[in-house]
Amino acid sequence: DAMVIQNPRYQVTQFGKPVTLSCSQTLNHNVMYWYQQKSSQAPKLLFHYYDKDFNNEADTPDNFQSRRPNTSFCFLDIRSPGLGDAAMYLCATSTEDGYNQPQHFGDGTRLSIL
């Protein structure tokens, strides 16, 4: 009965080859987030959707894009992955008043760049 599902669990791609990570949720939450977590570091917010409204963090590289075709699904696209993009990518959801509600995280996708 997983509520936030990320696929795949592990993803290997080549330097410069576009890659898409997916996230789905069964919670019907309005807000979906993408975080990047590098080894032994804290998760860092990349962007989030409030319904269909996209909110990008100021320091998120242009190389990172996102799509949310409906409430349940959200995708993270990395257009030209570099070695520095190897990380765990975490998807999370929260209800409308996200700032005061717990975020529900998926298991993450660990991305490796060859």
Partner 1 sequence: AQKVTQAQTEISVVEKEDVTLDCVYETRDTTYYLFWYKQPPSGELVFLIRRNSFDEQNEISGRYSWNFQKSTSSFNFTITASQVVDSAVYFCALSESPYSGGGADGLTFGKGTHLIIQP
CB of 106 to partner 1, least distance (A): 7
Does position 107 bind partner 1 by CB under 8 A?
yes
Q: Which of residues 1-30 bind partner 1 (CB under 8 A)?
A: none
Residue 101 sits in the site that holds partner 1 (CB under 8 A):
yes
Residue 87 binds partner 1 (CB under 8 A): no
Q: Pick the closer one to partner 1 by CB: 16 or 102.
A: 102
- At 91, list the tokens: 């998807």
